[in-house]
Amino acid sequence: MSKIRLEDFVQYGRLFDTYGKLLSEDRQQIMSLYFDCNMTLAEIANERQISRQAVLDAIQKSCEKLKQIEDVLHTTSNRQKIQSALEEILNLCQVGDTKKIQKKVEEILKEI
């Protein structure tokens, strides 16, 4: 976890933005320092006056909790699907293809 992949960092950052308020205040602060302020584990440990291992444990447990919440609610993944669909509709609007726009809107409505 100390060398988190960029894709995972972005994914967990989005999950934290969406569900972060469901974590304890202490975990919210640690996660904010890590994801929002891009601080290292050592920097967070120094600022919070806890061990680097305690920071790592808090981040790992928080990420797992956020993933569990997403696995149940699907808020973040649904938001990404909607954003992608809306971008596709916008592109279709630019070329004026009303039949494809209508079809795409119908697909979205079926999924909701």
User: Which CATH number goes with the domain that contains 47?
Assistant: 1.10.10.10
Number of domains in the chain: 2
Q: Rounded to whole angstroms, what are the CA distances from 57 to 30, 36, 43, 62, 110? A: 11, 18, 15, 8, 41
Residue 66 and residue 26 in one domain: yes
Blockwise average pLDDT, block size 10, the chain, 112 residues: 76 95 98 96 97 96 96 91 89 87 86 76
Residue 48 and residue 80 in one domain: no
**Calpha distance 12→76 (Å, rounded):** 10
Per-residue model confidence (pLDDT) at position 108: 84
Cβ atoms of 40 and 47 within 8 Å: the answer is: no
Residue 59 and residue 85 in one domain: no
Residue-wise pLDDT for 41-69, tens only, equals 999 999 999 999 999 999 999 999 999 99
**Calpha distance 79→57 (Å, rounded):** 29
Residue 97 lies in a domain: yes
Q: Which domain holds residue 103?
A: 76-111
Statement: the pTM of the whole predicted model exceeds 0.85? no
Residue 12 and residue 61 in one domain: yes
